[in-house]
Amino acid sequence: MKMIYLMVLTVVLLFSGCVGKEVVPCEPITITKKCETKKPKCEELTNESGDIVQWTKARLENYPKLQSCLYDFEAALEKCL
């Protein structure tokens, strides 16, 4: 019984491609210098605590600041890529 199992297993492995695979040569990888950039400074945001009117006013004031900060972070990231 074991002999039949081994023969069937060998045939299955031969037809499945597990035996005799080609070895693909690896290409060298160059490691670039570490990116040198500074973290962009963002403007100080308005406090968003308080009632709904104060919160809405603070959110509207903070939106351009957040967009500017996001633009600076994306520019720093692009510099390293």
CB-based contacts of 46, cutoff 8 Å, min separation 6 = 57, 58, 61, 62
Rounded CA-CA distance 9/19 in Å is 12
pTM of the model: 0.51
17 pLDDT tier (thresholds 50, 70, 90): low
Between 50 and 66, the higher pLDDT residue: 66
Domain ranges of the chain: 48-81
| pLDDT tens digit sequence for 58-71 | 999 999 999 999 99
| pLDDT tens digit sequence for 19-28 | 556 677 888 8
